[in-house]
Amino acid sequence: MPSKDRISKADQSFVLLSPHYEIMYGSWFFQYQASMERLRQQMLASDAVAEPIARALRLSQNFAQRLRKSSPKQSNQQRYFRQMDIYFSWHAEQFLLESMTLEGFAVLDEELKQAVAEFLRQEFRYRKELEYTSDFHGTPTRIWNRMALYHRLLEYPVLLRSKITELGAGTHKLVKAASTMLIMSLFTYFLFNARDASEKLSLALLLVIALVYAIRDLLRDDMITAITRRLRRGKPRWKIRLLMPYTRKLLAQQWVWLDYRKLPDLPPLVREHSGKWATNEERQIICYRALLNLDKAALEHDEIRERLTLDCEQLCAMIQANHNKLFVRTDDGDSPDSVQAHPIEKQHDYNLLLLHTKPGEHFPSAQRWRLRLGTNGIVQCENKKPHWPEPPQARRSIWHRLTHPWR
């Protein structure tokens, strides 16, 4: 929210207005959720779980106090408050219950363990007092889907509206018009020459004309697509306008690239430090790039969190089913029951490399994952060390010296 709208929390005349209420509390909650997710990644990546659990417990206690210190009076705000209160209670409980299943939880201080247990008991009593327990009843799948629905409802007031424009339509029309003009000019030139050579149309000439039309219809679409792709190589494919919720004010513009490359076509920095995965040099690499340009006022007042979702359904559909089996002998007996057949599932490995460049910086940071897919979905997702080089400090210092006189 802009700083001029960040009125004191005690000013109830502002807090009770809609949609300011949903935007303010939604922003608070998703900042809390982002902090909890960072602590979760830290907790799962290292053996030291004491500090992440203690910080998560303090964050949950502080947010519960901020959220529940006042209850709105309007009906639509009460509904939003109830959904957030239920989802927050469930989210905090899930984080702490997950931390209790880790190996390092057993060696924690008894005081921290008791604090975690006391917080869980308080949340259970709180849900029982406000009659939230009905939302926690049912099968695990039903509860998860219900909470996912609450999450989508909560993020609606703080989720930017996107207006997607596909680029390249003008280039495709120009290529189509130019190809039609060229083909028809050549065909007309050929027809006039044939007419000058012979004053009457023969059957062979009619067959040649029909053949030319057939070849044109057969190759025209592929030729136009290939020429358009060639002309737009290196250019963005989509333009996304990000609008503020409710006000529909333009906040940012995003350009998106998507293309396929061979390994030698990658930049040298990526090719040298992306790691060695497979020996097949004919593999194709899917390159996705997004460039976000924010409004100048947005850079000063707002904070944007970008979420990138990777759908592997189409990649899994490309994996052919395998009907092979591995037979294993369980004991030394000769009976048929001592032999077990294990079906073999065909799997594909993918190297996922994410590069991110912050505003004002010229050297990207990297994250890397190993993704293993099967016919039924993701089999394994493992975080790998990217072995990415450190920013060249000497080059940056020279750049600053060169650009300093021009500032």
pTM beyond 0.75: no
Q: Which of 349, 355, 365, 350 is nearest to 266 (CA)?
A: 355
- The counts of H helices and E strands in the chain are 12, 9
Q: How high is the pLDDT of residue 1? A: 43
- Under 8 Å between Cβ of 333 and 325: no
Question: What backbone torsions phi and psi does residue 236 show, to the nearest 5 degrees?
Answer: -65, 150
Helix, coil or strand: residue 232: coil
Q: Determine contact, residues 96/124, Cβ cutoff 8 Å.
A: no
Check: CB of residue 279 under 8 Å from CB of residue 330.
Answer: no
The list of the chain residues with pLDDT below 50 reads 1-16, 394-407
Residue pair 327/234 in contact (Cβ under 8 Å)? The answer is: no
pLDDT of residue 3: 44
**What pLDDT sits at residue 7?**
44
Q: What is the C-alpha separation between 345 and 318, in angstroms, rounded?
A: 14
Distance of CA 358 to the CA centre of its chain: 17
Q: Kindly report, residue by residue over 243-298, the tens digit of the pLDDT.
A: 888 878 888 899 999 988 888 888 888 888 777 665 555 677 889 999 988 877 66
* 3-state helix, strand and coil shares in percent for the chain, rounded to the nearest 5: 55, 15, 30
- CA dist 101 and 109 (Å) reads 16
Q: Where are the alpha helices (DSSP H) in 198-293?
A: 203-231, 268-273
Other Cβ atoms closer than 10 A to 400: 10
Find out whether 348 and 372 touch, Cβ atoms under 8 Å: yes
Q: What pLDDT sits at residue 400?
A: 47
Tens of pLDDT, residues 68-97? 987 787 787 889 999 999 999 999 999 999
Residue 217's identity, in one-letter code, is: D
Q: Where are the domains of the chain?
A: 3-159, 168-231, 311-407
Q: Are 371 and 386 in contact (CB under 8 A)?
A: no
**Cβ contact 26:81 at 8 Å:** no
Single-letter residue type at 269: L
